[in-house]
Each structure stands twice: as structure tokens, then as C-alpha cells.
Chains A and B, each alone.
Chain A
Amino acid sequence: MRVKRWCWILWFGFLLLLNYTVPYTVLSGVSKVYGAFLFWNLFALTAIGSIFILLWKWRD
């Protein structure tokens, strides 16, 4: 359980890092809808998908 917990923490940490770095570096010159706008939507959907995977493992 502890190893699994750390794997998920690292995954979410990686996502969070992308949230700060990608729009301010790679996408800072892209003034289009497929730039930061699309990136942040995909970032949120990935985070939400990961949250759902974890929630669906819970038992009563």
C-alpha cells in the first residue's frame, strides 16, 4: 500500500509540475486555442481521470 501511495504521489507531482512548466515555456508563444487553453483542459481531464481510478477502488 505504501509503495502504491508513493507511486500515485509521484504521478500527481509530475502532473502538477507540467501545469506550471508547459504553458510558461513551450506554449508561451502559442496564442491559439490549441495552446495553453487546450493544455490546461487536458491536464484537468487527466487529473480527474486519475482521481476516478482511485475513487473506484474504495470499498465500503
Chain B
Amino acid sequence: MPGREDSSSKRLLSTKLFFVAMLMLVFLVAPPLGLPAYWIRVITGIFMWIGLAGSWNVIGGYVGRVDFGHVVFFGTGMYIATISILEYGIPWWISLLLGGVGALALAFLVGLPTLRLMGAYFAIATWALAEAIKQLTLVLKVTGGSYGLVPPPILSRETCYYCMFFAMLAMTITNYFIERSKFGYGLKALMESEIAAETLGVDTFKSKLLAFLISAFFPGIIGGIYGLWIGYVYPYDAFSGLKTDQMVVMVFMGGVRSYLGPVIGAVFLQVVSEILWTYWTEVLYLIFLGFIIVITVIFMPGGILGLIRGRLPRARFFGLEKLSERFRS
């Protein structure tokens, strides 16, 4: 809320910043202080999903195009990073970047024609493309077909944890700044009406493409880290539709079109699934996931953030009340 910040809200902001910084510090120092391996695994997973859901929020939330094939960037990064390590012996951190750049290049190639499509057409096109590329990795030699690839175990558990941590942090900070930038306001305008935004001087196509590129780059990086972390890369995991499903659910559950929504959604769903998987099978978890989507869409279209806003109308939750209000209308 630029221009309306009085001294008390500034103080509130710095208090918030302080708490967030402390929390990040705890995550930074926890592994060497003896965080058990189980918790390192769980928290690495949560970081990964915050990053992935955050990336979906850019195209699905800020631009308002439902991407049903977002996992394609994750899988592309995963394969490019693994292949560049296995075939060319490139240092792991460069290969992770290569994965991100590969996803970026794919998004650029695909984005030019695909972003012209609206609503359902865009959703089906992205889904078809992701499935086509999954099928391609199943028949290609370089990807190892359905057997997949096995990257060397060069990263320790802790290194993967830190890589995911910084990827997640970078994605969330990017979203924070998108919301407060001229670029972000342009996206908001074009989501409401593309023609109106165009007449107001927003280069709608460039904005959409840039948003699409941002939302593709981070899953590319995260996919590479995931490959090294899990130690096994195969098509049904790398391009699993379930990964896209979870991104969508997390964003809608947490609260779409806000940088905090994916964080809340990812933490909530990962914790719930961790608990459920201990007692339940995957199938039961997925039934639950389906119900969560239906219930979220019907009863809380603003997600958990929207609920918090609804219950505490005066709480000024990170200045998001206007955003979710817009979403409800």
C-alpha cells in the first residue's frame, strides 16, 4: 500500500521483517545443529513445494491462465541437469542453472504461440504439451526411455536442503516484488481485461511472456535439484501430472494471487500429506486431494488467506485484503 504507510504500519512491517528473518535464520542453522535426517527430508520437500506452487502462482494467479502442464518445466530442468552431469561432466551448480535456462528456453518457444490462447484453450494446450514431452522422453535414447537416468550421488542431504531453501526463497521474494511492481500492476490490469490494459499502455503480450518465463525458470532449477536429491530420473516422475495437480491445489488452498498463498498452501498440504501417508495409502491421499479442491473452490475461493481475511476484517493481513476481495467479485 504505497503512499498510505504511516509510522505505525512501518513499525509493523519492520517487526514482520524481523520475524521472517529470524525464521529464515533458524532454517539456515538447523541442519548443522543436528536436525534429524527425517526432518531434513520433510523440510526439503516443503521448500520444494513452496517454490513450485509459487511458480504456478505467477502464470495461474497473476496472469490468470490456468496451466495444466506446468510440470513440464520441472521435468525439463530435471533431465537437462542430469544429462549435462552424466554426459558432459559439468559441475553440478552450473548444470542446475542449465536446467533453469533450458526450462526458460522451452517457455519462450512455447509461450510465443500458446499465450495467445485464452482460458480453457490455454489449459488444454499446456496439458497436451506436457504430456507430449513426457511421451517423447519415453521413446528417446538420450533420456533413457522408461528406465530413466541415475544421476551420481554428488550432493549431500544438507546441500540439497540448502539448494531448495534458496530456490524457494528466491521464488517467494520474486512473487513479493511482482505484486508491488509496475509489471505486477500491469498483469493485474490485463487479467481483468486485456483490451483495457492495452489501451492503458501495458504491453500485454510482453508482460504475459515475461511472467511465463519467470514461472518456468524456477521449476527448471528446482527440478534439477530434485533429480540430484532423489537420485533417480524417469518420465513418470519427472512429468507426473500429479505434480501439476499439487501445485494447483496448493495455490488455490493457500490463496491465489498472493505471494503468501503458495507458502501457506504448500506447508499445509505437505504437512497433511506427511501425516496421512503414515497411516494412509497414496490412493486415499489423492481422493482427499480431490475433495480438498472441490471444497476450496466452492466454500473458500479465496483460500486460507481469504478465510483469515474474512474472519479478521481489520487485521490488514499484509495488505492483501483488496486482492482477495477482487478475486471474490
Q: Verify that A and B bind, or say they do not.
A: no
Which A residues have a C-beta under 8 Å from some C-beta of B?
Answer: none
Chain B residues within CB distance 8 Å of chain A: none
